[in-house]
Amino acid sequence: MRLMTLFNRQPTAKTAQHRLQVLLMHERGGPGNTDLIPILREDIVAAISKRIPVDPDKVQVKVERGESVSLLEIDIEISTITQHLLQRRPASYDLPRAAGAR
Amino acid sequence: MAHVLVVTSGKGGVGKTTSTAALGAALASAGERVVVIDFDVGLRNLDLLMGAERRVVYDLIHVVQGAAKLTQALIRDKRIDSLFLLAASQTRDKDALTEEGVERVIRELRPFFDWIICDSPAGIERGASLAMRYADSAIVVANPEVSSVRDSDRIIGLLDSTTTKARHGEQMEKYLLLTRYDAARASRGEMLGVEDVLDILCIPLLGIIPESKEVLNASNVGTPVTLNNPASAPARAYNDVARRLKGEEVPLVVPSDKSGLLNKLFGRRAA
């Protein structure tokens, strides 16, 4: 058993180097970069709230940082009551007319 | 006029104080006039590693606040005449350090020394910020380990933006001192190698201090490792660093895993 673990051991230094490279690439972007997510979240809440009532706590914004591509994940939970209202399209939440439409 | 050197790292426990004591002693042994200043107000330890903990009467805060003269606060090393310590306060908090006070202390020390070595506290708060503020160059101490390398990267950013030199549009010289390096583990791919760390931090390498029991042995007795066992691997590495600081060309050899196959098979358990 001891011998098995001896030979199966995966070198971990490469993983460490890779994790550092990805992390520092983002951290070196400067302090403004770290505030991006909260600002983006506020913008999203404000934009959605114009049309649908949303609880700001139910808006999740996450970023998964990859080496070449990062994934921005936005998760907005709206209550079923809101969905019901949406279907009936009350005047207060009516969509504006598209530009140029009559 | 003295050259002001800051020994910094961001992360704690990587060897800033050990390196300050070892390099201060190595430079002073070579005939240089050296003062080492502890900036870790509230958690001082440089006095302990220098073996001067029972001789501290006045400290950096007393001098900064004008309660003591520099000549009263400087503690001369008992082994080397040209080595002095300016201890940090153990009872005050870091807010007692003022920008003007530190600037004045360094200005007053400059004419009397060749080297002023500022031992920075861990972190990026006031003490660390003031330790690097008036430096001419910086030694960034890092271990071959992810959290230490990340924090060093952050410190390099601060050295380039918050120091007086950087604010005057000058280039802050920064050197990497890689400590606690285990060549055997690096060769097995279990530890970041020298090249890996240099690739990430992109600053010149000043030296590599091998992981060694001698460092603890030296701190146990309050003697810088370069004086306690000058023939030991870390002492020789620190002495090489001191000579490079003085401008000598000293070849930098990356320690390699010299143990043979039998040692590798049977030595691992003992290590």
Q: What CA–CA distance (Å, rounded) separates B53 from B96?
A: 21
Distance from CA of B179 to the nearest CA of A (A): 16
The length of chain B, given as a count of residues: 271
Which among B196, B197, B265, B268 is the top mutation candidate for probing chain A, defined by the most A β-carbons within 10 Å of its own β-carbon? B196
Do the Cβ atoms of B16 and B49 come closer than 8 Å?
A: no
**In the numeric block, which tokens belong to residue B192?**
């970041």
Distance from CA of B46 to the nearest CA of A (A): 31
CB contact under 8 A, B146 and A13: no
A27 in reach of chain B (CB within 8 A): yes
Lowest-pLDDT range of A71-75, B33-37, B147-151: A71-75
pLDDT in tens, B203-262: 999 999 999 999 999 999 999 999 999 999 999 999 999 999 999 999 998 888 765 555
A5 in reach of chain B (CB within 8 A): no
B158 in reach of chain A (CB within 8 A): no
* Residue whose entry in the numeric block shows the structure tokens 């490469």: A14
Q: What CA–CA distance (Å, rounded) separates B205 from B187?
A: 19
A46 in reach of chain B (CB within 8 A): no
pTM: 0.79
Q: Among B129, B262, B180, B251, which Cα is nearest to B16's?
A: B180
Beta-ladder partners of B177: B141, B207
pLDDT of the residue at B268: 47
Lowest-pLDDT range of A26-40, B9-23, B79-93, B142-156: A26-40
A12: nearest CA partner in chain B: B190
pLDDT in tens, B109-164: 999 999 999 999 999 999 999 999 999 999 999 999 999 999 999 999 999 999 99
Which among B11, B145, B152, B153 is the top mutation candidate for probing chain A, defined by the most A β-carbons within 10 Å of its own β-carbon? B153
Helix, strand or coil, per DSSP, at residue A73: strand
